[in-house]
Amino acid sequence: MTASISSPRSDLFVALGSGILVTLCWFLLSWRYGLDFGDEGYYWYGAQRVLRGEAPIRDFLAYDIGRYLWAAAVMHLLGDDGIFSARAAAALYQALTVCAGVFLALQASDQKRGTAGRILFAIVTALVLDLWAYPYYKVYDYGTSILLVAMLVLILTSLSPARWFGAGLILGLAAVMGRNHGAYGIAAALLALGFMLFKQGRRAELLRPALFFIAGTVIGFSPTFVMEIFKPGFLAALLAGVIEHVHSTATATNIPLPVPWPWTIVHDEKGWVLWGILFARGLAFIALLLVPALTIAALLRKPITGFTRLHYLLTAAAFTGLIYAHYAYSRADLTHVALSIAPLIFIVLACGRLVRAAIPVAVGMLAVSVLMLAKEAPLLASKVLGRPTATVLVNGSELHVPPYIARDLLGSERVFSVLPGARHNFLAVPNFPAFYAINKSKMAIWEIYALSSRDAGFETAELSRLAKARPDVVMLSNHALDDRPELRYSHMHPLIYQWIIDNYQRVDLAPSSKLEIYVKHTRFAGP
């Protein structure tokens, strides 16, 4: 086939076609697999409450407003707030960001490429990007990191005020999805611009585009201010949360885990496949820092006159990756690797083009991705490793979930079958916001997902809410998170736990699950 220089328009069509098609196929294959009562419920329940007129952060513990507004809008359009709509909303954002990522990868070369080769490369790239959108409800973080790489490419490749304004819009919207993404975007932009100024100067020419960048950022972030107009008190709650986040060491970062360095992985009776999965994950923690650092060192040696679109992508991805590595190390598990890995993917794909082996490198990355995700991504764990699943019914949809999830879900349903009136007046703690989303009911307290200790003043405020609601039943999992006894709910929230013990009695309604079930005493003591 005749090779030709690809144009931005043709690459855009290829990116849209491959990104949408691959994401749609992946969604249709995978959406029925897995269920997370905690993190998924945190997203899904929040979107439901926005549909019902509540404000994230002000009315319930939440991330920043972006993902909830997006999901609520999609749910409204679909006329449903069930599990399928929540997952479809995330898939739509995933398709948008995957298309942007494929376009970046396609544009990162001036080489002559045949149409068939370009399409094949785009499809494999889309597959890699879709696989790493794990877990699905975190795609608002993962996909936003892709958009931030695009933002840097915009400002590095041109001094056009329009492009810088568009880059500012991306940064502002990224901050709406999560203030951490706004901070990461600003840090990456400052580092990348400092790098370019070091290489080429031209400081005076930056003033006008920088003003447009700032204007775009303010406009992109404006939904946060608009929320205050419609939901008075939102900004005050947001500011209070920021202050608490800064001053409280308990909530300022994720609960840490030791980094699984590859040399700490020991082969045992579980076999070589599991060893390979864990070893590859350990290598990823090294690569997240080492590869961006080596990329920047190599780019420092290259004259700016020799920079092509590929080198600008490498620069953007390297500085973004260097900043996002913090995210992975804040809690060293596969989920946080997935949320940090997009810039590394772009570096590897760009290097593949640099050595004229784009498709083999992309296919190799696809194979490594399947290996690393096989143990935990629900569809891969079931189909590749043969992990057992149980089928449950959630909002009329059949889902294939791990057996322990099925036991807890069936345990809750047994409670509601015995106490049907409790379905819309119960307390499930510490990590069951999905129970409320499934039953489309409101949680009585503000802290819908408890992962850290709270002071007596906070607990007292929550107890006043509980006294008004008087839940008919309490479902408690008093497990030790990360096998740390100090992270049991009874230790983190001693006043609320004591209130449960004083006002409820334990009954054996869910013997096969980890849930402790408590029903009200006839005489309710109050807080």
% of the chain with per-residue pLDDT over 90: 79
pLDDT digits (tens, 9 = 90+) for 237-265: 999 988 887 766 444 457 888 899 999 88
How do strand 112-113 and strand 4-5 relate by DSSP bridges? antiparallel
pLDDT confidence of residue 156:
93
Instruction: Please give the Cα distance from 350 to 111 (Å, whole number).
Output: 12
List alpha helices for 302-357, DSSP H.
Answer: 309-330, 334-338, 342-354
| Residue 274 pLDDT | 87
- Phi first, then psi, for residue 56 (nearest 5°) are -55, 150
Give the separation between CA 513 and CA 527, rounded to whole angstroms: 28
DSSP state of 517: E
How much is the pLDDT for 112? 58
Measure CA 137 to chain center: 6
In the predicted model, is pLDDT for residue 460 greater than 70? yes
Quick one: which H or E segment has residue 5? strand 4-5
Which DSSP letter does residue 79 get? T
Task: Give the per-residue pLDDT at 201.
Answer: 66
Phi-psi region of 267 (alpha: psi -120 to 50; beta: other; left: phi over 0): beta
Encode pLDDT of 70-106 as tens digits.
999 999 999 999 999 999 999 999 999 999 999 999 9
Residue 524: pLDDT above 70? no
Task: Please tell me the predicted confidence (pLDDT) of residue 244.
Answer: 80
Residue 269 clears pLDDT 70, i.e. is over it: no
- For 389-445, write each residue's pLDDT tens digit: 999 999 999 999 999 999 999 999 999 999 999 999 999 999 999 999 999 999 999
Structure tokens at 480: 């030790």
Q: What angle do CA 399, 400, 403 make, to 5 degrees?
A: 125
pLDDT for 510: 85
The single-letter code of the amino acid at 125 is T
pLDDT band for position 210 (50/70/90)? very high
| pLDDT value, residue 348 | 97
Gap between the Cα atoms of 379 and 390, Å rounded: 13
pLDDT of residue 109: 65
The amino acid at 231:
K
* Residue scoring higher pLDDT (526 or 48): 48
Give the mean model confidence (pLDDT) for residues 484-496: 95
- Model confidence band, residue 5 (pLDDT cutoffs 50, 70, 90): low
DSSP 134: -
Q: Can you tell me the distance from the alpha carbon of 68 to that of 49, in angstroms, rounded to the nearest whole number?
A: 9
* pLDDT mean across residues, the chain: 92
Q: Is the peptide bond before 527 cis (omega within 30 degrees of 0)?
A: no
Q: Is 401 buried (19+), middle (13-18) or exposed (0-12) by CB count in 10 A?
A: buried
Predicted local distance difference test score (pLDDT) of residue 6: 64
C-alpha radius of gyration, the chain, whole number: 24
Question: Per-domain residue ranges for the chain?
Answer: 4-381, 402-520
Q: What span, in angstroms and rounded, lies between the C-alpha atoms of 26 and 88?
A: 12
Q: What is the pLDDT of residue 527?
A: 46
What is d(CA 168, CA 186) in angstroms, rounded to the nearest whole number?
10
- Residues constituting the chain: 527
Percent pLDDT > 70 in the chain is 94
pLDDT at position 150: 97
Q: Which residue(s) pair with 427 in the sheet? A: 474
Q: Which of the four pLDDT bands, split at 50, 70 and 90, describes residue 305? A: confident
246 Cβ neighbours under 8 A, 6+ residues apart: 252
Q: Which residues contact 315 (CB under 8 A, 6 or more apart)?
A: 152, 156, 192, 195, 196, 296, 299
pLDDT of amino acid 512: 84
- Looking at residues 127-153, what average pLDDT do you find? 97
- pLDDT over 70 at 1, yes or no: no
- Token pair belonging to 231: 């939901």
